[in-house]
């Protein structure tokens, strides 16, 4: 294959001493790091590729630029002369696909995870022969047609659905829309995970439709669930509860505020052959936990996996209080010797923040906790070592003890 034609990229120059983070491997350029006197951001079109240089003229890589965004540049290649085009997309997606095929026997996984796959602004989830794609940046938006062509060439999917309804697109000056890119996309998608069959809404589902990032945590919970009653709080379509029922839980309660999500949990329980042991409880999570407490219910394993309670750093204190309340209510329902799985997908909540939340929740609930295992996002969500932002999911598996008097 011949080398790609070289395109002359305009230069984006950083201010003095603002190159250290990029030199260490980080991929984001903030607007206040650009020397706008030498290379005005307003001179770039949204999504335009640029050669990035230090204030001394040292090349740092190629990035696409959005002059109206806080993250004004996103590096996609260490070669400072390389445009982002179909050939580079093909190479990056091919590498990402090879990794997932090494990791998984079946075609159900996150195929592309943004910066961790050197594809900033792009997420692709594979549901067998259907792909759900999210484009979060102007730079990737410019390559929509090329992206569809490359994905079609690599995977020959039945359909590609753009789930471009994420709020972050507004920060990039992009519309929020869900639309079919090619082929056909069914209203529902079906996958195999942890020995279960799951069905969930595609166009109308949360995020891309399924949360692959919790796959390994769900498997861990299932491995401990035989002979126990399990409570899956914020269950969505029942990924954890149904896996536990399949693994031998005597009862699995899926608690969620969405009746639509729970209807899919019911369908998945039927498909997985465990409907008689799966109970669906539609309620606000905190109200549902209080209701179960009033009923005197106890569980051998409780999972608390809420949506991001902290979307902005300024909301951290309030969000941590919400995590503490949810986990305190959950702990009140765990039987002596049982387990709590507590997770957070909030980018601004660190692992140590969550550990402190659990410590406080345990004191509030009058129980003792032992952390048995740390939980992480699944392997199809790789972590860029220079970008802590790509490690967003954290959790703990805890053993719960109820001390008796004098203990």
Output the pLDDT for position 405. Answer: 54
Q: Is residue 162 a contact partner of residue 247, using CB atoms and an 8 Å limit?
A: no
Average of per-residue pLDDT across 107-126? 98
Residue among 307, 295, 303 nearest 257 (CA):
307
Task: Give the C-alpha separation, 115 to 124, whole Å.
Answer: 12
Give the rounded distance of the alpha carbon of 304 from its chain centre: 16
What's the topology of domain 10-77?
2.30.130
What's the chain's average pLDDT?
95
User: In percent, how much of the chain has pLDDT > 90?
Assistant: 90
Sign of CA dihedral 323, 329, 332, 335: negative
In sequence order, which residues have a C-beta less than 8 Å from that of residue 25 and are 6 or more positions away? 384, 385, 386, 387
Question: So where are the chain's domains?
Answer: 10-77, 86-186, 189-401
End-to-end CA distance of the chain: 72
DSSP string, 358-391: HHHHHHHHT-EEEEEEEEE--TTS---TT-GGG-
**Which H or E run contains 324?**
helix 316-331
| Res 48 pLDDT > 60 | yes
Lowest mean pLDDT among 50-59, 279-288, 309-318, 333-342: 309-318
Is 375 a known active-site residue?
A: no
Band the pLDDT of 5: cuts 50, 70, 90.
Answer: very low
Report pLDDT for 2.
Answer: 37
C-alpha–C-alpha distance, residues 220 and 377, integer Å:
12
Q: Which of 244, 343, 345, 398 is catalytic?
A: 345
Query: Is pLDDT of 149 > 50?
Result: yes
Q: Does the structure show a pLDDT above 70 at 121?
A: yes
Average pLDDT over residues 143-162: 97
Q: Which fold has domain 189-401?
A: Rossmann fold (3.40.50)
Instruction: Give me the pLDDT at residue 407, please.
Output: 61
Q: Are strands 10-13 and 48-53 parallel, antiparallel or unpaired?
A: parallel
pLDDT of residue 4: 42
Q: Strand, helix or coil at 140?
A: helix
For the chain, what percent of residues have pLDDT higher than 70? 97
What's the pTM? 0.93
CATH class, domain 86-186, is alpha beta
Question: What is the per-residue pLDDT across 275-316, written as a single tens digit (0 to 9) for each?
Answer: 999 999 999 999 999 999 999 999 999 999 998 888 788 888
pLDDT tens digits, 367-403:
999 999 999 999 999 999 999 999 999 999 999 999 8
Strand order in the sheet with 130-135: 108-113, 122-127, 130-135, 159-164, 177-183
Going by pLDDT thresholds of 50, 70 and 90, the confidence category of residue 129 is very high
Distance CA 347, CA 336 (A): 32
User: Can you name the residues that pair with 339 across neighbouring β-strands?
Assistant: 301, 399
């Amino acid at each position: 294959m011949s080398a790609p034609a070289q395109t002359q990229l305009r230069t984006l120059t950083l201010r003095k001493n603002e190159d250290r983070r990029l030199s260490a491997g980080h991929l984001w350029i903030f607007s206040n790091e650009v020397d706008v006197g030498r290379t005005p951001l307003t001179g770039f079109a949204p999504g335009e590729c640029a050669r990035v240089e230090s204030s001394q003229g040292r090349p740092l890589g190629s990035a696409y630029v959005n002059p109206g965004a806080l993250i004004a540049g996103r590096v996609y290649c260490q070669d400072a002369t390389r445009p982002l085009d179909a050939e580079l997309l093909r190479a990056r997606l091919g590498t990402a696909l090879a990794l997932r095929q090494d990791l998984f026997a079946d075609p159900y996984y996150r195929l592309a995870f943004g910066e961790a796959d050197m594809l900033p602004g792009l997420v692709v989830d594979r549901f067998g022969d259907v792909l759900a794609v999210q484009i979060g940046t102007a730079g990737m938006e410019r390559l929509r047609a090329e992206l569809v062509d490359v994905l079609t060439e690599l995977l020959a999917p039945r359909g590609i659905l753009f789930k471009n309804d994420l709020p972050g697109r507004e920060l990039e000056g992009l519309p929020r829309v869900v639309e079919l890119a090619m082929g056909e996309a069914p209203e529902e998608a079906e996958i195999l995970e942890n020995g279960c069959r799951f069905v969930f809404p595609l166009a109308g589902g949360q995020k891309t439709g399924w949360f692959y990032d919790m796959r390994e945590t769900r498997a861990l919970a299932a491995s401990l669930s035989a002979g126990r009653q399990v409570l899956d709080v914020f269950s969505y379509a029942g990924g954890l509860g149904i896996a536990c029922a399949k693994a031998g839980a005597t009862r699995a309660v899926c608690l969620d505020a969405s009746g639509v999500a729970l209807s899919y949990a019911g369908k998945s329980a039927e498909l997985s052959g465990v409907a008689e042991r799966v109970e669906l409880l539609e309620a606000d999570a905190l109200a549902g936990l209080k209701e179960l407490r009033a009923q005197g219910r106890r569980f051998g394993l409780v999972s608390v996996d809420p949506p991001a309670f902290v979307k902005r750093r300024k909301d951290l204190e309030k969000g941590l209080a919400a995590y503490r309340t949810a986990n305190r209510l959950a702990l009140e329902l765990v039987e002596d010797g049982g387990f709590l799985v507590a997770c957070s997908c909030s980018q601004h909540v660190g692992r140590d923040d969550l550990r402190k939340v659990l410590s406080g929740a345990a004191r509030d609930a009058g129980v003792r906790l032992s952390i048995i295992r740390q939980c992480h996002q699944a392997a199809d969500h790789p972590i860029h070592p220079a970008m802590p932002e790509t490690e967003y999911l954290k959790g703990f598996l805890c053993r719960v003890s109820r001390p008796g008097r004098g203990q």
